[in-house]
Structure formats: C-alpha cells, structure tokens
Amino acid sequence: MTSWVTSANGDTDFPIENLPYGVFDDGAGPRMGVAIGAFVLDVGKVEHGLDAALFAEPAWNAVMAAGPAIWAALRERLTALLSDETYRTAVEPHLVALEKVALLMPFRVSEYTDFYAGRHHAFNVGTMFRGAENALPPNWLSIPIGYNGRASSVVVSGTPVRRPWGQIKRPEDELPRFAPSARFDLELEMAAIVGQLSDGMVSVAEADAMIFGYVLLNDWSARDIQAWEYQPLGPFLSKNFASTISPWIVTMEALAPFRAPFSHPAEDPQPLPYLSSADNSAQGGLDIHLEALIETPKMRDAKAAPARFTQTNYRHAYWTAAQMVAHHTVNGCNLQPGDLLGTGTLSGPTLDQACALIELTTGGKNPIQLPNGESRTWLEDGDTIILRGWCEKPGAARIGFGECVGTVLPTP
C-alpha cells in the first residue's frame, strides 16, 4: 500500500501497514496518536466515526476495552484516511512531525507480569548457578514460569534509569552489605498487552483474541541484588525499580503477516490440553527481529554511532503470549485491559544472540569488546541501551517498533 504521507512510503518503521498507537505531547498537552512515516496523527482530531469518549483520556485503555470489532473499525478508518488522497485536505493539518513531540506512556499499565519464556536464556543462566545437568528447573518445560512485577515502575522509552541500592552478598562475604548495584544489566524482551477483561479461565484460542499488541521491553536487572534475594520467592528489588517499554503499540492486525508456526521440540514434554490449540500450533509464533545497542559516554562525546552487541528473534520464545494468558487465568485470576505480560529474555541458541550481559560475559568473566576499544562486563553510569525490533519478509511491507531507550544514571 501507499500513503499520501510520502515519508511513510520509504525507509521507515511506520508505513501505512503498521499504524502503531501511542501518546504524544507537542506542547499543547498529551493526546492519543498514530505513527505514520515521520509524523504522528492526532487521532482525536479526525473523523473516525467512533465514540469520542474513547479518545478523551491520553491512554489507549478505553479503546482496548471496547473490543476487537472497534479495533478493526478504527484501523480500517485510519488506513482509508491516510491512503485516500481525497481525505488529505481534512487530515493533513492534524499531522505533527515526530521530531517535535515528546512520546509518553501509551497506556496505563494495569498490572505487570514478567514471564521466563526464553529457553536459551533460562538454560544459560541456570548453567552458571546449577550446572548444565540441572540448568532448567523440573517444571520449566511444562508451564510458563512468571512472577508479579511492579506496574508503577514501568516507564516509557527515554526515561533515565537510576542505578539501584540494595543488599548484596558475595559468596566470600560472611554477611550482606548495603551498596549500589555493581552488576547492573539489561534484558532484551518483548511484552504483550492484554486488551480485554477476563473473568475466569480462558482458552488459548480466546487468549489470542484478547491481545491488543506488543511493545519492546527492557527489564533492567541488578544481578548482585538478585543473587542474594531470589531464593526462595524470586526477584524483588533487583527488578522492580524500572522496566522500560517502547512508546508505540504495534497491533496484532499489523503483525498478522508475520505470524509463524509454533511447536515445542518433539523430545520435550508437550503442552497440556489447556495450553494447546490448533491455531496456536499453526500461527502462534511471531517472526520479529530484535537487536540491542549500546552508546557509552565516550561514544556520545565522539559522536560515534551506537554499537550493536546482540541480535535475536522473538521466535526463540518457548511459550506464546496466548499460552501465557491462558496459564495466567487457569486458577481464576482476572486480567484487565492494560495488563503487561513480559516474555522474559529472548536469547537465541548462540552466544552472539544472548540478550543480557550476564550471558554475554559468562557471569562477568569475559567482558564484551566494543568497536571503539572500550569493554563492558556490566553497565556503567552514562551508558545508554537502545532496543529495536522489526518485521520483514518477501511479499509484506517492513514494519518496526521504533526504539526502546534508557540511560543509566548514578546512584544518588
């Protein structure tokens, strides 16, 4: 397809096939918008044929709650407004250049659950602590493992992240000490956004229809705090200080061409019936390319480009978002529009596809080398991490997620 917004027809994350949803402020207050090429469309200002109340609050939660029929109608109308030249005169005044806006949280995070659905990450980290024979806990291949995160500390791309304090106990220490984290890490993840209310258990097929879209997620991690606190109940202060998401929600409609078959290896335990469906097997996977880059203070001062240090694909996830939703509700737990479900670190099968420094450096033993001669074992103050994601294949337009960016600030 083509758009009369010419910047949407070239090299961009936001062609007309994408139309991701966000919230922006150009100085006149936060509003709901859709990205198109180098611009954001002020959705509340155009004739979309929907209830204006859906756009009254600068957050996409009301649209999510309105349901899939409204999602489809809005997307169809926006596509027409931005592709048909006859609408140009009415719509063009409501386009604002992306370079002139601040991008804000695109929705109110109702709750946040972070799963542990990256098998290669789980194996790599488990090997460091328990050896290869016992790397994966006995239940890992049978259920989507997750923990409750902190919704209030989910922040949007561009928000600085301050290095946390916490209790730290090294193996040689007799007692823990209170100090800033010295083993500060990132985790390259994605996150599904629940768009519909659930009341009781939902099937995998029902769960798939509940997902509104995806964002990139950096689940910042303080490894030294985590090592001391995670037994017996899992991560707490090592994770809840900040989780960064990208500002654009890429909808399931936009991702439809990039669905892919999904299955567990034949030698693994196969999902129990409540975690299975024919559609999930046929198209539960998503072919999304992912990468992480670093910009150190020295790079910034030298005006050097950020350096990519890993790349992977969402297809390495061991559980689909629909399976995570279904499992989340199996005990009667309700989900709400705006619930955020992290995938866990999406490392691939080889070391160059590892998506956290704890893996890339083998627990801090082997620093990674950067193009400018610097090295990193853990993140240092002033380092900026940039996550990117995109989909492309023959016969379909390339679409992207934009960037998920965070800079590490020193402890106060």
The alpha carbon dihedral of 346, 348, 351, 353 has a sign of: negative
Q: What is the pLDDT of residue 412?
A: 86
Q: In the predicted model, is pLDDT for residue 408 greater than 90?
A: yes
| Angstrom distance (rounded) from CA 75 to CA 36 | 13
Residue 52: pLDDT band (50, 70, 90) is very high
3-state secondary structure 193-256: EECCCECCCCCHHHHHHHEEEEEEEECCEEHHHHHHHCCCCCCCCCCCCCEEECCCEEEHHHHH
| Averaged pLDDT, 260-279 | 97
Tell me which amino acid residue 30 is.
Answer: P
Q: What is the pLDDT of residue 362?
A: 95
Residue 355: pLDDT band (50, 70, 90) is very high
| Averaged pLDDT, 34-40 | 98
| Angstrom distance (rounded) from CA 275 to CA 252 | 20
Which tokens in the block code for residue 383? 């380092």
Could you list the active site residues? Answer: 121
Q: In the predicted model, is pLDDT for residue 130 greater than 90?
A: no
Q: What is the pLDDT of residue 257?
A: 98
| Averaged pLDDT, 355-366 | 96
Q: In the predicted model, is pLDDT for residue 277 greater than 90?
A: yes
pLDDT above 90 as % of the chain: 96
Q: What is the pLDDT of residue 97?
A: 98
CB atoms within 10 A of CB 26: 16
Q: In the predicted model, is pLDDT for residue 129 greater than 90?
A: no
| Averaged pLDDT, 46-70 | 96
| Angstrom distance (rounded) from CA 184 to CA 176 | 18
Q: In the predicted model, is pLDDT for residue 47 greater than 90?
A: yes
Give the HSE-up count for residue 134: Cα atoms under 13 Å, Cβ half-sphere: 3
| Averaged pLDDT, 323-342 | 97
